[in-house]
Structure 1
């Protein structure tokens, strides 16, 4: 009765060595591939711990699923050379990050053989030439492609739009001097698109891009855009960040831009936009708005005072006029407010937001007396070239955070407060006009 179990045990003991040996074969082959990579790259010191006596899954640059190598993470390892074809001998490779190294040559088409690749980062290297027209031969599982800050030239090929699962496409800061395809607008899963800081031939922002319903971030600053911003932005329901700054865009801000409820950051500075800021505002969680250096007119919409997260507001060098909405001064999160170079008018409130530390309202038409509480928490205050009158508040000694105070070219009069000497942090002071000059303050020590 005990013979059968005994035979089974003997059989198990006989087969066990073969079972144990058979399991690491994939890892052994992958280890050989990795060591070949190290040798191909002339044994960089940053990979000195890659050796035959250690398990690759224990190397900090290697990502494993059990004993299977699925990722290589090599940012900033001071590696030089090219990307060899045998890297795709790692059949289960899904993640490859080679950013911030010294790789050279054309786009590494050898990566077409990495059939399971989902994440590819070749940014901050020295790749050159055109992106190949058949780049769609990369893995159809690819979700993240980052070629930022290389030296790629020419066009962005239409075939890139056939990488249908892309969620992030980073092509900024290259030397592209051709066109970018409007077919990018058919990448239905795209969440982040960055084409900024390239020398594309003059192009309009394609209306097809408004089809990107999952897009959260669109960066196209200094991309040689012309023409008007397309309408129907409200269809981009997921949009959180829009950056079209430093372009030759004209026309007005689309009426539905601030209807995007997820919008948090808008950068439209240094373009040729005209007209008014749209009144319809449903985006109430914006953190940064920069509309500076345009030709915008009208007033700041009342909807801006409803912001609950706004930290930075820049509308300088436009043609705005009218009073600032009362509630905008008091937004509790607002830290930087730069409104110089317009025709704003009205008086300053006695109460401002608790976090405001930079306020520049120079070169406007503000008037009235300066509130005593004005500079309590400010780091920089520039009210120069307005119509403020009366004296500088005697409470200025309590403005202890103030480092920069500019109040020249106003209608201020009276003596300069001696308490200025109490402002130990003050570094820049500009006062003139009708202010008295008989103050004992030695401004050279400020």
Structure 2
């Protein structure tokens, strides 16, 4: 049984400033010399980049469905054994989704602080806080924090409006040099915010004198106890404790595209490749770096190829290396933005069309609104792989899907999975630790 001070930062809705406050809190405690581990609830690639910069440590996902309850428990227990503080940032509103942030906080007994944007709000702040605190009895609500406060008098009004028994955790003023910039799909990537560290330091300074800056209560995190066979790559929510995994990718060399255009990569996915015995290297199509000739497989993750389409189209060395890899019959696994890179052309929302690699038949049209969003899973010969989808584009292709993902709470078909020679491509972002055997088969080229 490991124990560690822990806090869950949630909100009544998206856009309240959860990431800014979580990052500021992580930076504050890191500056005090503490080892801080931050987790992000649900599927997310962008917030964890900010939180990793703030805390100095990789940010892993927690989700009772995608990751699984027993795997979440194991991740928290491992962090508690090594860290001085655990912070968990929620997703959307506290009670949104199935499972929700509230479900996660309740499952592990982590006290919740609700960040409420108080802009254009006075006494109603107390009503919102009361509703969050009393909607469910099993959620360990600790208090509320006011974001984007207009003045000290405004903060006093907000604090006075709180119902008895709900702790005031302080406030922070609205400030353009603290807020994090965003666009479609979410926040800007950490590497794209030139003054990110300055923003984080200013936010940490602003939090330093608030009650939120103190260490939260200690929480006990117990690991799962049931053994697991080394040859049985179980789903993380199966109730079994993860044990030694077979080195199913021993001798494989997997080259991963990684730069501002291809950056939607779960740290847990890369860690799994290493655990399974693969050698992992990186190349940047944006920098016109070719995929290495020695790679036995390529992984093209999601990201923002639409923002860099012209550069990608000009970078012939990188493009030719991917084409040559596929022509040699070596596996390529492409997710979302990685799939778009492989198609014949990409048309942005303004109507500009740019040629892509052309190793998959089809074209992509960018839209101005989400075309798909939510949890999905793949059910293949080797079992179930969990994941999610979120994108602003639509693909037209003559390829016939070899499989469709399914949705956990709907009968509607999920994302298509396409196979063309050694290439497997889909919009779905997979969480590979949910099925290591399935993952290994993808990179051996025999998953379907």
TM-score, structure 2 normalization:
0.24
The structure where strand makes up a greater share of residues is 2
Q: Which has the higher contact order (CA 8 A, sep 6+)?
A: 2
TM-score, structure 1 normalization:
0.24
The structure where helix makes up a greater share of residues is 2
